[in-house]
Chains A and B, each alone.
Chain A
Amino acid sequence: MPAGRNITVSEASRPKLPRHTKLKFDATRQVWVILAPERVLAPDEIAVEVLHLCDGIRSVAEMADQLAAKYAAPRDAISSDVIAMLQDLADKGFLTEAREKTP
């Protein structure tokens, strides 16, 4: 199965943006954008923060810990919000996962 499709995002996932999906600050419009094939997405501030954490090393669980501590917010709610947002991105084909090491 190719990278970027049919991914189920969970707390164990270590997501990252594939090469063809670029997070960029649009200086003209003063907003962050995600550039993908023939599309431009406009992530909100929190989504941008989550995407900056998607380095293929951190797990979603670690992201949720980090954001819960930073915003002093309920971890479960943050975790489910982050998973929903990343799943949406994955379903569009704009998210990939670090390869699991084969035992």
Chain B
Amino acid sequence: MSPTLTDAGQAVAHPADGLATLESRRSTAETYGIPLAVLAEVTHRCPLQCPYCSNPVELDRAGSELTTGEWKKVLSELAEIGVLQIHFSGGEPTARKDLVELVQHASDVGLYSNLITSAVLLTREKLAALADAGLCHVQISFQGNEPVVADRVAGFKGHAKKLEVARWTRELELPLTVNAVMHRQNLHQLPDIIQMAVDLDADRLEVANVQYYGWALKNRAALMPTLEQLEETTRIVEDAQARLKGVLAIDYVVPDYYALRPKKCMGGWGRQFFNISPSGKILPCHAAESITGLEFESVRSNHSIAWIWQNSEAFNRYRGTSWMSEPCRSCEFREIDFGGCRCQAFALTGDAGNTDPACTLSPHHDRIFKVAAEEAAGNHSRFIYRNFAGGTPETESGT
């Protein structure tokens, strides 16, 4: 008779930008229930230019974005089919002038709303309006614990503003998550970033090592940590988790190049998660458009969102285990990790149907790990900044 709380939504910190997805214990291989939470990337526009941005290298232009009316219709439909939470993300979601209206609509249809933001475009009035519209949670990205490193990584002078917005968030009694994407050039700041999160009165800190696709893959040589750095990071995180229990929850994502087994990416392709791109495509993960040859259905098509989730070719292509080749096909872990990440398999081996090379059983693993380790030990430090032009190399004066 003792009461229990089962975690239906084990927060799995998201690759690349540390977004958390929700893992439903009710999802099974046979029935693909509607996800508990959906990521709405309402725009790709963003004033920041982080070199590890999780958006695709080919960004959606402003002109192709769903309209206010289209997003509202999408939100209503999501609530109707059983989605419980919406993550407003981007790009920078507050670059959309209608965000308060969209949050209000999410509240009206019963969705719990999270804002995943760089914070640099917010004013106190705007944040208060979002809170009044029913916003439930704010996640702010930080690129370091002080402006010299942070503003260089972001390619934008925004660190001071982020601190200010974090304080407003708590003044408005909204829960705050600090998201810190970590890599070779800011890992030395981790103890200070943890302290910053405590000082900002954050509820949660995501320490997310960069995951290497898209923009981050372009910048891998400037970002990849060494194995020694990673081991030190893990020690620091575990120490802080114990020390700050009940004060600050810390989620930790390791870079999977240094793992023995690949991650269960997105909880398995098409099993527990989808996101909606700025132009309305329903995607199994936000990097999925990097896999050429897959067609993704749009909310602008004649199909319902539920139909696309259950029946579209892109979702079914890598669902379950029947698509697998060796070494996955006969592997005892095939339903533990579902072969890892399809986007990474495609980016590094040219075939999304291959085993994720993060797995030591992949024939590509040793070669790729060796390259990464060499890059980590190298001294390439300049970034290629993310932008609509396909990237701009950092200039000497910027370093």
Residues in A lying within 8 Å of B, measured CB to CB: 2-7, 18-20, 22, 24, 26-29, 33-35, 37-44, 46-47, 49-50, 71, 73, 77-78, 81-82, 84-85, 88-93
Q: A28-B81, A29-B26, A29-B82 are in contact. Are A85 and B201 (CB under 8 A)?
A: no
* 0/1 interface trace, chain B 158-196, chain A, CB 8 Å (1 if under): 000000000000100111010000000000000000000
Decide if B11 touches A39 in the complex (CB within 8 Å): yes
In the complex, chain B residues 47-84 whose Cβ is within 8 Å of any chain A Cβ: 81-82, 84
Contact between B82 and A35 (Cβ–Cβ < 8 Å)? no
* Contact (A88, B177) CB under 8 Å given A28-B81, A40-B85: no
Does A33 contact B203, Cβ atoms closer than 8 Å? no
Whole-angstrom distance between the Cβ of B363 and the nearest chain A Cβ: 36
Interface string of B337-348 (1 = CB under 8 A from A): 000000000000
**Shortest Cβ distance from A46 into chain B, in angstroms?**
4
Q: A26-B84, A40-B9, A41-B9 given as contacts; is B3 within 8 A of A82 (CB)?
A: yes
Decide if B148 is an interface residue (CB 8 Å cutoff): no
Total A-B pairs, Cβ < 8 A: 122
Can you list 20 contacts pairing A with B, beta carbon distance less than 8 Å? A5-B247, A6-B247, A19-B136, A20-B137, A20-B174, A20-B175, A28-B81, A35-B84, A35-B85, A38-B22, A38-B177, A39-B9, A41-B6, A41-B8, A42-B8, A44-B3, A46-B2, A81-B2, A90-B246, A91-B246
Quick one: closest B residue to A44, CB to CB?
B4
Chain A nearest CB from B75 CB (Å) reads 16
Q: Is the CB of B9 within 8 A of A89?
A: no
Q: Which residues of B contact A84 (CB under 8 A)?
A: 2
Give the most central of A7, A41, A73: most B CB within 10 Å.
A41
User: Which residues of chain A have C-beta atoms less than 8 A from B24's C-beta?
Assistant: 40
Q: Please determine whether B82 and A20 come into contact, CB atoms closer than 8 angstroms.
A: no
Report A40 CB to chain B, min CB distance, Å.
3
What is the distance, in angstroms, from B203's C-beta to the closest C-beta of chain A?
5
* Number of B residues, CB within 8 Å of A: 43
The 5 closest A-B pairs by CB, nearest first: A28-B82, A40-B9, A47-B3, A37-B137, A81-B2
Are B204 and A40 neighbours in the complex by a CB distance under 8 Å? no
- Please, which residues of chain B bring their CB within 8 A of the CB of A27? 82
- Contacts A4-B203, A91-B246 given; does A20 touch B8 at CB 8 Å: no
Q: How far is the CA of A89 from the CA of B7 in the complex (A)?
A: 11
Residue among A38, A39, A46, A49 with the most chain B CB within 10 A?
A38
Contact (Cβ within 8 A) B137 A85: no
What is the distance, in angstroms, from B35's C-beta to the closest C-beta of chain A?
10
Contacts of A91 in B (CB 8 A): 245-246
* Interface assignment of B87: CB less than 8 Å from any CB of chain A: yes
Contacts of B170 in A (CB 8 A): 2
Docked Cα-Cα span, A3 to B170, in Å, equals 11
Chain B 121-152, CB-CB to A under 8 Å as 1, else 0, gives 00000000000000011010000000000000
Min CB gap B92→A, angstroms: 18
Q: Are B5 and A35 in contact, CB atoms less than 8 angstroms apart?
A: no
Whether B369 is near chain A, meaning CB under 8 Å from some CB there, is: no
Tell me which residues across on chain B come within 8 A of A93, comparing CB atoms.
175, 203-204, 249
- How many angstroms between the C-alpha atoms of A5 and B136 in the bound complex? 17
Does A43 lie within 8 Å of B203, measured CB to CB? no
Q: In the complex the two chains form, what is the Cα distance from A98 to B245 in whole Å?
A: 22
Chain A residues with CB below 8 A from B84, complex form: 24, 26, 33, 35, 40
CA distance A47 to B3 in the complex (A): 5
The answer to whether A20 and B1 touch (CB under 8 A), given A5-B203, A29-B82, is no
Inter-subunit contact A42/B203 (CB<8 Å) = no
Given A28-B82, A29-B82, answer yes or no on A37-B4 (Cβ-Cβ < 8 Å). no
Closest A residue to B83 by beta carbon equals: A28
Question: In whole angstroms, how far apart are the Cα atoms of A50 and B5 in the complex?
Answer: 11
A34 contacts B5, C-beta separation under 8 Å:
yes
Least Cβ distance of A55 to chain B in Å? 17
Q: Which chain B positions have C-beta within 8 A of A50?
A: 3
Question: Given known contacts A26-B82, A38-B114, what 7 new A-B pairs fall within 8 Å (CB)?
Answer: A22-B112, A33-B84, A35-B112, A38-B20, A38-B37, A40-B37, A88-B5
